[in-house]
Amino acid sequence: MTTVLIVDDEELIRVGLRAVVDAEPDLTVVGEAADGADALDAVRRLRPDVVLMDVRMPAVDGIAATRHILDTVRPAPKVMVLTTFENDDYVYDALLAGAHGFLLKRARPAEITQAVRIVAAGDSLLFPAKVRDLATRRTRARHGLDHAGLTEREEQVLRLMAEGLSNAEIAARLFLGVETVKTHVGNILVKLGVRDRTQAVVAAYSSGFA
């Protein structure tokens, strides 16, 4: 059973998301919070697997809340941010803060529940074209990729990660074993000094590498 915490300042949104998630036999909502200020305490008390985090809230927004949760809670939950607008710069900042992906609030119920399963399994929920657009609107600053010492194979893997491919899909594309791809991904994270594959992909976009 995958447990979910919903963080949104609009009660109607929380009620709707709870109904969608609780309708699935393998998912359950363990709690709600109406602001990012309450999210950290709720995560510590309830220990959810996944947090559905509104990116825009009046007191403490989803970016700050995501950063606080991922920096202070161990083991940390997976955080997926929710947004009304797909071109929302707040989404990009949330990804930099460590969110594992983002989803539009107008997504269909099946898309929402599938997204929860994807991030709960440890994969990222990214939409390469949208995230790349968000990245290119910012100043393209180097994120250490020039001097990260990535091997040619690691560069290939990172580019495919930036296309949104899973480890299994990367393995099939490069004719490698999945465990070999996992090793390459782990090496990439260490060399880039990032927390997870989402941040690696964001760094690739921001630097102009991908």
Name the packing angle between helices 167-174 and 152-162 (round to 10°). Answer: 130
Closest CA to 205 of 154, 163, 147, 149: 163
- What value does the mean pLDDT take over residues 69-85? 89
Q: How many Cα atoms occupy the beta-carbon half-sphere of 124 within 13 Å? A: 26
pLDDT digits (tens, 9 = 90+) for 1-53: 999 999 999 999 999 999 999 999 999 999 999 988 899 999 999 999 999 99
Q: Compute the mean pLDDT over every residue in the chain, rounded to the nearest whole number.
A: 85
- What value does the mean pLDDT take over residues 178-198? 89
First-last CA distance in the chain: 36
Residues 6 or more apart whose Cβ sits within 8 Å of residue 175: none
Residues 6 or more apart whose Cβ sits within 8 Å of residue 178: 167, 168, 171
Q: What angle do CA 165, 103, 56 make, to 5 degrees?
A: 135
Burial class (CB in 10 A: 0-12, 13-18, 19+), 1: exposed
Q: Is the pLDDT of residue 87 over 70?
A: no
Report helix, strand and coil shares of the chain as percent, to nearest 5. Answer: 50, 15, 35
Burial class (CB in 10 A: 0-12, 13-18, 19+), 201: buried
Predicted pLDDT at 165: 83
The continuous run of DSSP H or E covering 15 comes out as helix 11-22
Predicted pLDDT at 46: 96
Residues 6 or more apart whose Cβ sits within 8 Å of residue 86: 104, 127, 130
The whole-angstrom separation of Cα 207 and Cα 135 is: 9
* Cα separation values, 32 from 45, 64, 205, Å: 12, 17, 33
